[in-house]
């Protein structure tokens, strides 16, 4: 029987590294799999980690259909024992349903990795559907830390270093691309307290140099 597994956490907690390790471990045991990703920092059709590791992957755009892909691969003589699905928060609800069908009907294991909430602290639709359907939901044990040293629980988006809470849900940052739109988009993990205060590391440094050090408006 196949299983649908969802591994979740904030940025910087090692999701993509674990996805790469999961693929390596299964291949080392003679299993055949496929690796998928969406909007990876390294570019299209790549699965990369912040440690510098990366592999080729199948890009999942909004038109990709997991069930049709799997059936086509199998009818052409391919073998599939498992899927590794990184950046699953960007998958559509329909694509998550397709993954569940692949597990139930074809006994293929699915290991999905993704962030639970976006920069507005709202659940990604793909992550919500995975939480609803997964046989097992795993919270990654490697804790990302806020600049203050506390456990980071929220993902913040910055535009030219200033935290923002409105805008398009999917905007890829943290990539070296001179042609990407301005302002410069980046991401940072924060504890809830500092996310509420919009206090990024840069803002905290500026506040420390200010004569008005109290956090009151």
Residues noted as catalytic = 87
DSSP single-letter state for residue 181: P
**What angle is formed at CA 154 by the lines to CA 150 and CA 160, rounded to 5 degrees?**
100
CB atoms within 10 A of CB 205: 11
First to last CA, the chain: 56
Q: Residue 215, class by beta-carbon neighbours within 10 Å (0-12 exposed, 13-18 middle, 19+ buried)?
A: exposed
Give the Cβ contact number of residue 210 at 10 Å. Answer: 9
Query: Which helix or strand (DSSP H or E) is residue 22 part of?
Result: helix 15-28
Angstrom distance (rounded) from CA 192 to CA 151: 9
Closest CA to 116 of 90, 81, 145: 90
Distance CA(32)–CA(20), nearest Å, equals 14
């Amino acid at each position: 029987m196949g299983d649908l597994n969802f591994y979740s956490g904030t940025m910087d907690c090692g999701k993509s590294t674990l996805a790469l390790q999961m693929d390596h471990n299964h291949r080392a045991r003679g299993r055949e799999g496929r690796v998928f990703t969406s909007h990876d920092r390294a570019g299209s059709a790549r699965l990369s980690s912040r440690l510098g590791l990366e592999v080729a992957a199948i890009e999942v755009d909004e038109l990709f259909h997991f069930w049709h892909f799997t059936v086509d691969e199998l009818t052409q003589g391919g073998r599939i024992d498992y899927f590794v699905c990184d950046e699953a928060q960007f998958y559509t609800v329909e694509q998550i349903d397709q993954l569940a069908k692949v597990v139930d009907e074809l006994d293929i294991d699915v290991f999905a990795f993704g962030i639970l909430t976006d920069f507005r602290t709202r659940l990604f639709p793909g992550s919500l559907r995975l939480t609803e359907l997964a046989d097992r939901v795993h919270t990654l044990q490697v804790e990302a830390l806020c600049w203050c040293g506390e456990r980071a629980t929220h993902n913040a988006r910055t535009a030219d270093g200033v935290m923002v809470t409105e805008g398009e849900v999917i905007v890829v940052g943290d990539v070296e691309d001179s042609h990407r739109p301005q302002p410069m988009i980046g991401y940072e993990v924060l504890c809830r307290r500092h996310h509420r205060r919009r206090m990024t590391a840069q803002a905290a440094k500026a506040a420390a140099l200010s004569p008005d050090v109290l956090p009151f408006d």
